Amino acid sequence: CRSVIFLCFLISLLPEQQLAMQTAVSSETSRITSNSITSIKHSKHLIVSAFIDHRINKAIRVISIIRRDSLQPFYCIYCNDDNNCQTAEAEVQIHVDHFGFPFGASDVLCHGAHTQSATRVAISTSAKISEIHNEDFLPIKNEKTHESFMFNFTVCISSLFDSYNNVLQFAQTVEIYKLLGVQHIVIYNTSCGPDLEKLLQHYKREGILEIVPWPIDHFLNPSKGWDFMYHGGEIQYYGQLVTLNECIYRNMYQSKYVLLNDIDEIIMPYKHANLQLLMEELQQQHKDMGVFFIESHFFPKTQFEESGRFSRPEWRNIPGVNIMEHIYREPDRKDLDNPRKMIINPRTVVQTSVHYVPQKYGDVFFVPFDVCRIVHVRSPRQGTLTKDQLVVDKRVWDFASELISNIDKTLQASGLMEITD
């Protein structure tokens, strides 16, 4: 192959001058991967996806997972559709929240000429462009900005793992979100239980759910928690921060707003019928704000509503928590903030964490608890409280009639409930 010989000649001539070098490469020498996670050759580090960042001079941002104690120089090799490739030394930004784990969510940034016309990029530990045929290239997304979006509301759910099989709560959550105006849900799937698998397949067929394969356990020993000292492992919570950031860039020009919450949380407007009306009002009042914090409130799954009206026999064999039976909310604790999740305008966010946004352009707004809060049905945090010390909160019931029939249809279409009538 002539181009390779030509390259070797160039490199032997100019050993120190490869930075920002431009060259033509035959197309068959570079592979474009469709995998969600890719190793950087000859290193422990991983790369995930690449995006043009229009806000920083159209640099290429590669969402990455960097081993913090083995930081080394990286080089970007980026090419356009005519196979013109450039190399540039990469800038590495490790996110501040790594919770002590050896691997941390990171951005590898490629600055240089013509990044905006690049369509693929590889991250290499070597500046030698002669190595190009050994590299795995990532396709570069977000090549164009958009002013109008395919979706108004997208929910990003990070890392689904183990044999999580909480079908009823997930179906209820998705069906409530649909009634609230969510049109798109992205979930990062490492693994799940057999019944949830059927439900996910159904929602994927229906089109509301985008499932991103997330085989992080093939690359690292992921932690089941967020605290390295306590949970061990190589990366926090199956790479939760990596997936949240990936999801923001994935939806930057697809969705007007992105909701960042866990699989068992619902960001619930209490004064508006849906998310559209909520955000119209909030954004009207707070024009420059791009991050809206929502307080999470615990509804213990150990306390059941007395009448039993939603304890439906049809759902008896469906695994998981029936959130409609749990309407008792834990009160605020003295001197302790409730955890927060977020609704964001993704175009204002640079880097996110789970409960706050460390790098952004706009301002943040703390949405009052009575306007919007998170319904989080789970094991109790204040487990000693009795029913009369909890607060009755029946917001979920407002959706009951439509919700129940939608859930039944969904469970039937998923093959999880018999079709009767």
Ligand X SMILES: *[C@@H]1O[C@H](CO)[C@@H](O)[C@H](O)[C@H]1NC(C)=O
Q: What 3-state DSSP class applies to 405?
A: helix
Tally of CA atoms within 13 A in the half-sphere of 412 that contains its CB: 11
Task: Supply the minimum distance, in Å, between the C-beta of residue 402 and ligand X.
Answer: 18
Angle between helices 194-206 and 400-413 (to 10 degrees): 100
Using the minimum distance from each CB to ligand X, give the nearer residue, 214 or 328.
214
Task: Supply the minimum distance, in Å, between the C-beta of residue 166 and ligand X.
Answer: 15
Outline where 133-239 has alpha helix (H): 167-179, 194-206, 228-231
Find the Cα–Cα–Cα–Cα dihedral 247, 249, 250, 251, rounded to 10°: 90
Task: Supply the minimum distance, in Å, between the C-beta of residue 235 and ligand X.
Answer: 18
Q: Which of 271, 274, 268, 272 is nearest to 329 (CA)?
A: 268
Q: Which of 386, 228, 215, 368 is nearest to 300 (CA)?
A: 386
Task: Supply the minimum distance, in Å, between the C-beta of residue 390 and ligand X.
Answer: 35
Q: Which of 63, 77, 205 is nearest to 137 (CA)?
A: 77
Query: Strand pairing partners for 75?
Result: 89, 124
Task: Supply the minimum distance, in Å, between the C-beta of residue 199 and ligand X.
Answer: 9
DSSP secondary structure string, 297-322?
EEEETTS--SS-TT--GGGTTS-S--
Using the minimum distance from each CB to ligand X, give the nearer residue, 108 or 242.
242
Sites of contact with ligand X (CB under 6 A): 152, 183, 189, 191-192, 197, 200-201, 211, 276
Task: Supply the minimum distance, in Å, between the C-beta of residue 266 and ligand X.
Answer: 19
Task: Supply the minimum distance, in Å, between the C-beta of residue 55 and ligand X.
Answer: 23
Using the minimum distance from each CB to ligand X, give the nearer residue, 110 or 196.
196
Using the minimum distance from each CB to ligand X, give the nearer residue, 214 or 298.
214
Using the minimum distance from each CB to ligand X, give the nearer residue, 198 or 381.
198
Q: How far is CA 2 from the centre of its chain?
A: 43
Q: What 3-state DSSP class applies to 365?
A: strand
Using the minimum distance from each CB to ligand X, give the nearer residue, 133 or 198.
198
Using the minimum distance from each CB to ligand X, give the nearer residue, 290 or 300.
290
